[in-house]
Amino acid sequence: MAKGIGIDRRTLLWMYETMVTIRRFEEQCKREADAGKLSGMHSSVGQEAVPTGICAHLRTDDYVLGNHRSHHHCIAKGVDINEMMAELLGKVTGTNRGKGGTMHIADIGKGMLGANGVVGSNIPVTTGAALSAKLKGEDTVSVVFFGDGASGQGALHESMNLAGIWKLGVIFVCENNRYAEATPFEYSVAGGSIAARAAGYGFPGVRADGQDVLEMYEVAGEAVRRARAGEGPTLIEAQTYRYLGHFGADNPLLYRSEEEEARYRAKDCIAGLSAHILEEGVAGEAELSAIDERALAAVTAASRFADESAFPEDRELFADVYNDYASGRFTRHAESGA
């Protein structure tokens, strides 16, 4: 059966709208950054298909954990983009009340258990979320997204071992975007395949085209089925590409060529799905344009919401360090402004 055949119209259009929303959101973030309103931003443009194809299978009570480049994970998991943009601008209406910012967006009510700025750090935490589900007898799935750069971290290997021996419902998703900051994949990953490493831990490792959301959807479907059925973890290595630099001010042409960039942009995930939808007659041009406009309007509204929101009050500095923060000499210093 050809790829994408058998996926219902609602799912296809949800995936299209999700990917377009991510891209418009990231473009807006760049404008906000250029205006000096946010910093430290790692753009996910180019990688939209990876979390979209996976989250299409997830329920609200399934968990997603991300990394430093995680806006696309959050949007695909259903986090409110108004609250996300407010968070990026450090506003009290943000997902994290302005305490986290771009690298730490979390919304546990939506199953987004947090992005994480330390490479590889969230992988053991995801294993723990899956262990929770097992101990509680639930069939929820826990998904962690990380990059090729994290594949060399011990935390991944320790977690794959634990998930393997305990048959946990974890999906390890490596977004192999070819570069760990400025270091190429070919240099840093021994053996040349991240997916192949799963075999050492006794569970499937699958390499998929991360620029093709239909392929991602298909691969994820089997991984989610395994996890829910208690058959254990899956490692997915999604071959993808970040169109922009590692972070806002990074010029990727310092370490990769324009030809290479053009080659990946030619396989753009949004263009690919759009072509499929039109060719298969799932929807027409007008319907897709309407979705494009709706996504742009939502992102524009998110930007306005963030702008109009207030910054946290000074007392928020001390809120939520502990559940019961006893005042001491260091809080007194700040309270008195001394």
Partner 1 sequence: MSETRENLRALTFTQAVNEALRQEMERDGTVFIMGEDVAGGAGRADFEDAWGGPFRLTKGLIGEFGPDRVRDTPISEAGFIGAGVGAAATGMRPIVDLMFVGFFGVCGDQIMNNAAKMHYMFGGKVGVPLTIMTSIGAGTNSAAQHSETLYSIFAHFPGLKCVCPSGPYSAKGLHIAAIRDDDPVIVFNHALLMGRRGANVERDDVYGLHVPEDPYVLPIGKSLVAREGADVTLIGTGYTTLVCCEAAAQLAEQGYSAEVVDLLSISPLDEETILESVMKTRKVVIVDEDYPRCSVASDLSALVAEEAFDYLDAPPKRVTAPHTPVPYSQPLEALYLPNRERVVSAALSVLA
The site for partner 1 (CB under 8 A) is made up of 63, 65, 94-100, 104, 106-109, 113-114, 116, 118, 121-133, 135-136, 142, 154-155, 158-159, 161-162, 165, 319-324, 326, 328-329
Buried b (16+ CB within 10 A) or exposed e, 180-189: beeeebeeeb
Q: Shortest gap between Cβ of 121 and partner 1 (angstroms)?
A: 5
Q: Shortest gap between Cβ of 103 and partner 1 (angstroms)?
A: 9
φ/ψ of residue 92, rounded to 5:
-70, -20
What is the C-alpha to C-alpha distance for residues 176 and 304, in angstroms, rounded to an integer? Answer: 34
Give the orientation angle of helix 9-34 with respect to helix 269-279, to 10 degrees: 150
How deeply is 232 buried, as exposed, middle or buried, from its count of CB atoms within 10 A (0-12, 13-18, 19+)? buried
Q: Among residues 154 and 284, whose Cβ is nearest to partner 1?
A: 154
Q: Shortest gap between Cβ of 60 and partner 1 (angstroms)?
A: 14
Least Cα distance to 76 among 148, 23, 117 occurs for: 23
φ/ψ of residue 240, rounded to 5:
-140, -170
Q: Among residues 35 and 326, whose Cβ is nearest to partner 1?
A: 326
Strands 183-184 and 179-180: antiparallel
Q: Shortest gap between Cβ of 214 and partner 1 (angstroms)?
A: 31
Q: Among residues 6 and 328, whose Cβ is nearest to partner 1?
A: 328
Tokens matching residue 333: 């210093």
Q: Among residues 249 and 334, whose Cβ is nearest to partner 1?
A: 334
Q: Among residues 107 and 218, whose Cβ is nearest to partner 1?
A: 107
Q: Shortest gap between Cβ of 273 and partner 1 (angstroms)?
A: 32
CB 65 within 8 A of CB 145: yes
Q: Among residues 163 and 208, whose Cβ is nearest to partner 1?
A: 163
φ/ψ of residue 48, rounded to 5:
-60, -30
Q: Shortest gap between Cβ of 131 and partner 1 (angstroms)?
A: 5
